[in-house]
């Protein structure tokens, strides 16, 4: 009777399915389970130790995150009012950009609106002022023209500096022209044409003797130049309004630093 036991053991040894590599497919080895469980415990302990050893500042920041989110979800009244006015400005500026491109509702009048904008550009005004200064023979005329040239240069430099600081883009993706690049008028805030037109109109109203119809036309010209920049999509409404205010402030500054006739004659002789 003891003979069958050695035979069954020999069969089990010869059976290929009883090998360890095949048994692991159906029944995982105990050693592997123990190693896996131990590695999981070690990783869990390491994570707990890392959480305990974390910086207390990070804990405070994590605790403050919900409060910061609540502050963002509940902005102040000033923030709501500012964002609402900004949204209205952008919406109205886009609607008034009727000549922003050839496909717009007034696309056929784009060239005429651009020509109106050129009348308020700095390069033609500086060139015309220099020509008049060369041909002028009176001391009073040279004094006015020299101060006008100072006002134009001050306007170009100050507007270019403010635009570089603000870096606000226009309501439409309109590429600046060659004259705009020459005067560094590449951004939207403030509108350089509007500030220049306001400054020039106020300057001429104060230092030239003009009839009432011409004075009215001069003011209308300044308004048309400013809002023509909105029509071609280069500036927002607030950019133009701020340009008008800034042009008036420039005029007041030029009046404060007004150069006398002797100073103008000295500069002309040096030039």
Q: Based on the number of CB atoms within 10 Å of its own CB, is 211 exposed (0-12), middle (13-18) or buried (19 or more)?
A: exposed
Mean pLDDT score, 239-266: 92
Length of the chain in terms of residues written: 271
SS3 170: coil
* pLDDT for the residue numbered 13: 59
Contacts of 9 (CB under 8 A, 6+ apart): none
User: 235 catalytic, yes or no?
Assistant: yes
Question: Rounded to an integer, what is the distance from CA 86 to the centroid of its chain?
Answer: 13
Cis peptide before 190 (omega within 30 of 0): yes
Residues 231-251 pLDDT 10s: 998 899 999 999 999 999 999
Does residue 2 have a pLDDT over 70?
Answer: no
User: 193 catalytic, yes or no?
Assistant: yes
Provide the 10 A C-beta neighbour count for residue 7.
9
- CA–CA dist 23, 17 (Å, integer): 7
Cβ 197 vs Cβ 248: under 8 Å: no
Token pair for 42: 């070690």
- CA–CA dist 219, 210 (Å, integer): 12
Q: Report the chain's C-alpha Rg in angstroms.
A: 39
Token pair for 179: 């004259």
> What confidence tier does 29 reach under pLDDT thresholds 50, 70, 90?
very low
Q: Based on the number of CB atoms within 10 Å of its own CB, is 241 exposed (0-12), middle (13-18) or buried (19 or more)?
A: middle
Residues 217-233 pLDDT 10s: 999 999 999 999 999 98
Element (H, E) at 79: helix 77-96
Cβ 110 vs Cβ 102: under 8 Å: yes
* pLDDT for the residue numbered 68: 42
- CA–CA dist 27, 9 (Å, integer): 21
* pLDDT for the residue numbered 26: 47
43-52, 57-66, 94-103: range with highest mean pLDDT = 94-103
Cβ 147 vs Cβ 268: under 8 Å: no
What single DSSP character describes residue 171?
S
* pLDDT for the residue numbered 198: 95
* pLDDT for the residue numbered 110: 84
Contacts of 204 (CB under 8 A, 6+ apart): 210, 218
């Amino acid at each position: 009777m003891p003979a069958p036991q050695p035979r069954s053991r020999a069969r089990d040894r010869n059976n290929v399915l009883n090998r360890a590599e095949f048994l692991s497919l159906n029944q995982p080895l105990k050693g592997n389970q123990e190693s896996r469980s131990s590695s999981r415990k070690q990783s869990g302990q390491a994570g707990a130790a890392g959480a305990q050893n974390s910086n207390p500042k990070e804990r405070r920041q994590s605790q403050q995150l919900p409060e910061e989110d609540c502050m963002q979800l509940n902005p102040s009244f000033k923030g709501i009012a500012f964002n609402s006015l900004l949204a209205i400005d952008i919406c109205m500026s886009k609607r008034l950009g009727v000549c922003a491109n050839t496909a717009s509702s007034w696309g056929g009048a784009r060239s005429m609106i651009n020509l109106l904008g050129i009348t308020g550009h700095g390069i033609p005004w500086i060139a015309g002022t220099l020509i008049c200064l060369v041909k002028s023979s009176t001391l009073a005329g040279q004094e006015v023209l020299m101060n006008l040239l100072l006002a134009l240069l001050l306007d170009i430099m100050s507007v270019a500096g403010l635009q570089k600081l603000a870096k606000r883009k226009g309501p439409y993706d309109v590429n600046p022209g060659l004259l705009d690049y020459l005067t560094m008028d590449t951004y939207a805030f403030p509108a350089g044409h509007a500030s220049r037109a306001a400054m020039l109109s106020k300057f001429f109203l104060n230092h030239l003797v003009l009839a009432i119809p011409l004075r009215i036309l001069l003011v209308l010209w300044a308004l048309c130049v400013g809002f023509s920049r909105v029509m071609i999509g280069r500036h927002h409404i607030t950019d133009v309004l701020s340009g008008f205010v800034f042009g008036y402030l420039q005029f007041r500054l030029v009046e404060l630093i007004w150069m006398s006739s002797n100073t103008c004659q000295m500069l002309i002789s040096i030039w």
